[in-house]
Structure 1
């Protein structure tokens, strides 16, 4: 799985951008929860979700 592309984010409107940020934050919370409770999860998802969140926040800041 490759890292998310920023071109997809640039096409989002303000409401979709905010919803996507909330979804990514929820997903990161779930991943941290899985790690702490020693449940199985794909550890590479941390990198992908954090990268995606940084992209979203950068685009939100510039708008």
Structure 2
């Protein structure tokens, strides 16, 4: 996910994207806790995507 792609979206779709990413992060954490997660790098990727979405939301809020 690129920040330029996120900049093209409106705030409502960004909030939906954030919600989906938080759900995905929760599922990955549960899989890690039960030793079912084989690729632990997914956790970091989702975490960075969440940070990107939050950053773009904050930038759009400060522009208003």
Asked if these proteins are the same fold (TM beyond 0.5), I'd say yes
Name stretches of at least 5 consecutive residues in structure 1 with no aligned partner.
none
Alignment coverage as a number of residue pairs: 60
CA distance, structure 2, for counterparts of residue 57 and residue 40 of structure 1: 26
CA RMSD of aligned residues (A): 1.0
Name the larger-Rg structure.
2
- The ranges of structure 1 where at least 4 consecutive aligned residues each deviate by more than 6 angstroms after the TM superposition are none
Q: Does 1:26 align with 2:23?
A: yes
Q: Which runs of 5+ in 2 are unaligned?
A: none
- Structure number with higher helix proportion: 2
